[in-house]
């Protein structure tokens, strides 16, 4: 059995394939970001999934693409978790989620150059030069970077709410939708795990109310920052397709398309999640 896995900070999609490429099952767990979660929490989130626990000794190969796996130490941590749980697996490959976005959107066999972006709980931007991925900006995480991500928009909403900068009609709706007490917010940010995921939960409110003028301005600001700080790092940004993967890109694709056009950029694919394209890639290039 082969497992193909795409993981963000919020959720993880798992698809199991036979050696011939037939889908056996698909399931979902909470996010498995090894930069913000301990080994114990990572293990717990896997063990508590019935399908994974039931089939754990049938897995021979695992291909994991995850947020937080761009550097060696987190990759080593989550690989150790998998080695301990999937004891019969003879091959465990760990790559950052950028590769999942690339494989889901770009024909790497045809050496198609492209810029590939992730706009989900976090955000990222890479360039595929036809042979390999280039990364101009190494992310410093949700506190300093992640423009236009779920946690960026959540952070901005909370700041504007606490500084009384949200229009009254929208502020009232915001209060009715969430527990916005200072104690609750600080507990989630400074005492509980996954503060980035907590911040991203507020992005749903922005999306549900995106026609409000305040939300439109916030969306435009966040997406513009991402385009200017990330996409324009690459000299041929206006010459190659720009692909997007992630829930924020998907649900804000109308606003995203308008800004890409304003900046003279070429729209590529906009996918909610990369797992389906990732599976096709593995069927074409990995299975044998």
- For the residues of 152-171, what is the DSSP string, one character each? HHHHHHHHHHHTT-S-HHHH
Question: What's the pLDDT at 141?
Answer: 80
Residue 27 has pLDDT above 60, yes or no: yes
Query: CA torsion angle for 210, 215, 219, 222 (degrees, to 10)?
Result: -150
Reported pTM: 0.88
Give residue 206's Cα distance to chain centre: 18
Q: Give residue 287's pLDDT band: very low, low, confident or very high (50, 70, 90).
A: low
- Per-residue pLDDT reduced to its tens digit, 207-232: 999 999 999 999 999 999 999 999 99
- Per-residue pLDDT reduced to its tens digit, 159-209: 999 999 999 999 999 999 999 999 999 999 999 988 999 999 999 999 999
Q: Please, which residues have CB within 8 angstroms of residue 226's CB and are 6 or more apart in sequence?
A: 117, 119, 123, 125, 147, 148
Q: Give residue 108's pLDDT band: very low, low, confident or very high (50, 70, 90).
A: confident
Q: Burial of 173 by CB count in 10 Å (0-12 exposed, 13-18 middle, 19+ buried)?
A: middle
Question: What's the pLDDT at 56?
Answer: 96
- Per-residue pLDDT reduced to its tens digit, 55-71: 999 999 999 999 889 88
Answer whether 147's CB lies under 8 Å from 230's CB: yes
Extract the runs of DSSP E, i.e. beta strands, from the chain. 2-7, 11-17, 23-30, 61-66, 91-96, 114-119, 123-128, 133-134, 241-245, 266-271
Q: Give residue 138's pLDDT band: very low, low, confident or very high (50, 70, 90).
A: confident
Q: Which of 105, 68, 150 is nearest to 267 (CA)?
A: 105
Question: What's the pLDDT at 255?
Answer: 98
End-to-end Cα separation, the chain, in angstroms: 12
Q: Give residue 36's pLDDT band: very low, low, confident or very high (50, 70, 90).
A: confident
Question: What's the pLDDT at 111?
Answer: 79
Which fold is adopted by the domain 2-100+275-285? Nucleotidyltransferase; domain 5 (3.30.420)
**Three-state secondary structure call for residue 24:** strand
Residue 286 has pLDDT above 70, yes or no: no
Q: Residue 286's CB: how many other CB atoms inside 10 A?
A: 17
Q: Which of 286, 21, 40, 9 is nearest to 146 (CA)?
A: 9
* CA gap 61, 134 in Å, rounded: 27
């Amino acid at each position: 059995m082969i497992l193909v896995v795409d993981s963000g900070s919020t959720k993880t999609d798992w698809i199991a394939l036979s050696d011939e490429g037939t889908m056996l099952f698909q399931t979902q767990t909470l996010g498995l970001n090894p930069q913000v979660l301990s080994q114990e929490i990572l293990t717990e989130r896997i063990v508590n999934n019935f399908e994974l626990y039931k089939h754990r000794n049938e897995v021979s190969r695992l291909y994991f693409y995850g947020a937080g796996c761009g550097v060696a130490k987190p990759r080593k941590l989550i690989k150790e978790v998998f080695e301990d749980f999937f004891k019969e697996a003879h091959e465990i490959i760990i790559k950052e989620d950028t590769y999942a976005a690339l494989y889901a959107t770009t024909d790497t066999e045809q050496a198609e150059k492209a810029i590939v972006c992730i706009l989900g709980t976090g955000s990222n931007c890479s360039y595929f030069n036809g042979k390999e991925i280039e990364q101009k900006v190494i992310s410093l995480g949700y506190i300093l970077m992640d423009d236009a991500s779920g946690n960026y928009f959540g952070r901005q909403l909370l700041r504007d709410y606490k500084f009384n900068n949200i229009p009254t009609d929208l502020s009232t709706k915001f209060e009715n939708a969430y527990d916005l007490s200072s104690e609750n917010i600080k507990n989630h940010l400074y005492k509980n795990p996954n503060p980035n995921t907590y911040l991203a939960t507020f992005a749903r409110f922005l999306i549900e109310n995106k026609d409000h003028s305040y939300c439109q301005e916030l969306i435009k600001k966040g997406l513009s920052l991402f385009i200017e700080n990330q996409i324009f790092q690459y000299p041929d940004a206006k010459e190659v397709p720009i692909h997007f993967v992630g829930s924020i890109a998907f649900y804000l694709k109308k606003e995203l398309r308008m800004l890409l056009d304003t900046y003279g950029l070429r729209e590529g694919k906009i996918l909610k999640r990369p797992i389906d394209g990732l599976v096709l890639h593995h069927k074409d290039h990995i299975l044998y």
